[in-house]
Amino acid sequence: MEKKLIRKCPICNSDSGEILHHQSFADLDMYELPKDYDIVCCHRCGFVFADTQASQQDYSRYYQEFSKYESGGTPVWTTEKMKPLSKFLPDKEASILDIGCANGELLVELKKIGYKNLTGLDPAKVCVQNARNNEIDTVEGELFSINSVIPDKKFDCIVLSHVLEHIRDLEKAADIMSNNLNDGGVLYIEVPDASRYSEFFIVPYYFFDTEHINHFDENSLNNLFLQKGFDLLQYEKKVINQMDSNKLYPIVYAIYKKTNKKENIKNIVKNLKVRDSVLAHIKESEEKSKWPEIDRIANSKEKIVVWGAGSHALRLLNNSSLSKCNIEFFIDKDPKKQGMKMKNIPIYSSEKLKMHKGPVVVCSALYSDDIAKEIKNMGAENIIIVMK
């Protein structure tokens, strides 16, 4: 189905696209991002993205208040993974800025191989302090506040690792990166590889959450950055373990050099590989969205507890019979969520489980097996049902 886009294509500015899927989420207290959106494919360039009504300010505020990485859980960085970047940045005195640095893990690895002029930037206060504890010079802020929090400075290299998929205003972001790089500077981008979603199924609709709003591959990255005066130096498709779990996750990284060449926007190359991969992921998600035990519990109205208040639960509560279940309360280990409500039902720490004798439904995309083991290790005798 075609539609006139709310959010124009952030790469080619087209205002028309094809609806691939409509995604909705349950309500969570203080969660100001949209509760639903269309996943669309741009008619002009083939870029796949969320046609969200939220502004960049809405997303920036969310990342400041709801960081996932304060207790770790960022992609695992090793000295080996830094070799491609160091190939194009041989000078160990080169100034490097990591935007969205979380706890500074990437910069720590760069420090190990001899880089000295390192700066981190992150919107979450706790992450900033954690990075400073790792002896990394770190500033509180985000991509769109660079010029105010780090004034009058340009860098030889800027890194955005697993950041660009969360940015609404991509064209403005690319301009900011160009303006804050020295001529000849290097840009390292790493994002989930949407052209391979269909090869790495985790749970239904896993790749569609409230904050992951852009679905890149190497073609769409080039369409964005070549028109902004960058040359592609290298790209590579890889597989990583997602968020310290045993779940394999496809990524693509690309390394660009600022050359100030201005490619004509008409040279944007249309490619539908991501569209096809996303449609295959949607089809498999539909086929695997069947939980007979949850259907039974919904009909019986027995009281249950749901362990998990993340994206997987937010999707399930709006798109499965879990929404019809008699949920007594939620459990989540994120202290920021404890005390909040989801669908007007309170969220507690795991201590509260001692008060419940009925079934526990585990709703975690990455850690469901670990949670089930934790429940058993607590000595709880509850029936455990895993939705994955």
Please state, as a whole number, how many other Cβ atoms lie within 10 Å of the Cβ of residue 353.
Answer: 19
How wide is the angle at C-alpha 203 spanned by C-alphas 197 and 207, nearest 5°? Answer: 40
Task: Average the pLDDT over each of 65-69, 247-251, 254-258, 301-305 and give the range with the smallest value.
Answer: 65-69
Q: Of 338 and 28, which is predicted with more confidence?
A: 338
| Mean pLDDT score of the chain | 92
Give the tokens for residue 55. 């502004």
Q: What is the tens place of the pLDDT at every residue in 106-115?
A: 999 999 999 9
Mean pLDDT, rounded, for 135-144:
95
- State residue 349's pLDDT score: 96
- State residue 281's pLDDT score: 98
Q: What is the pTM of this model?
A: 0.94
Q: What is the tens place of the pLDDT at every residue in 310-361?
A: 999 999 999 999 999 999 999 999 888 899 999 999 999 999 998 898 999 9
Above 70 in pLDDT, residue 380?
yes
**Torsion-angle region of 43 (φ positive above 0: left; ψ -120 to 50: alpha; else: beta):** alpha
- State residue 69's pLDDT score: 62
Helix axes 170-179, 218-225, angle to 10 degrees: 60
Give the whole-angstrom CA distance, residue 251 versus residue 101: 18
Mean pLDDT, rounded, for 90-96:
97
Burial of 146 (0-12, 13-18, 19+ CB in 10 A): buried
Number of H helices, E strands in the chain: 11, 18
Strands 303-307 and 360-362: parallel
The letter for the amino acid at 189 is I
Cβ pair 56, 10 in contact under 8 A: no
The letter for the amino acid at 15 is D
- Cross-strand pairs, 3: 17
Above 90 in pLDDT, residue 241?
no
Give the whole-angstrom CA distance, residue 344 versus residue 341: 5
Give the whole-angstrom CA distance, residue 156 versus residue 38: 38
Cβ pair 119, 138 in contact under 8 A: yes
- The distance from CA 135 to its chain's CA centroid, rounded to whole angstroms, is 26
- State residue 67's pLDDT score: 65
